[in-house]
Amino acid sequence: MKVAEFFGHDFKNGNFKLYDANGNQRYYETSEGYWSKREYNTDGNLRYYENSQGYWSKSEYDADGNETYYENSNGTKRGTPRNSCEGKVVEIDGVEYILKPKNQ
């Protein structure tokens, strides 16, 4: 079941879109079955993108919001990935948590 179908969306009214509380588009779907989803970090930077055609990309950012790592399903990689989980977001039961070192 597609997300739009779950919400009972009528595509006569246009494509289906979901936004987060910050106005970032999190989900998009057309009547032809194309969909895309996005995840943002707490600063509003796009950290993950995926679509129904199998394409995906992910990014990591430093404390100033500068992209430090990028990777996509086409094999493009640039920057250096972090080796720790610090700053990563984990979602549990619909609630997002930002990971940080224990001593902070």
Per residue in 85-94, pLDDT (tens digit) is 777 788 888 8
Domain residue spans of the chain:
3-98
Query: Half-sphere exposure of 86 toward its Cβ, with a 13 Å CA cutoff?
Result: 10
Which among 88, 70, 89, 66 has a CA at the least distance from the CA of 79?
A: 70
pLDDT of residue 1: 60
Cα–Cα distances in Å, from 44 out to 10, 22, 52, 66? 29, 8, 23, 12
State phi, psi for 44 to the nearest 5 degrees: 85, 10
pLDDT of residue 3: 92
Given a contact cutoff of 8 angstroms between Cβ atoms, the answer to whether 59 and 65 are in contact is no
The pLDDT tens digits of the residues spanning 48-83 come to 999 999 999 999 999 899 999 999 999 999 998 876
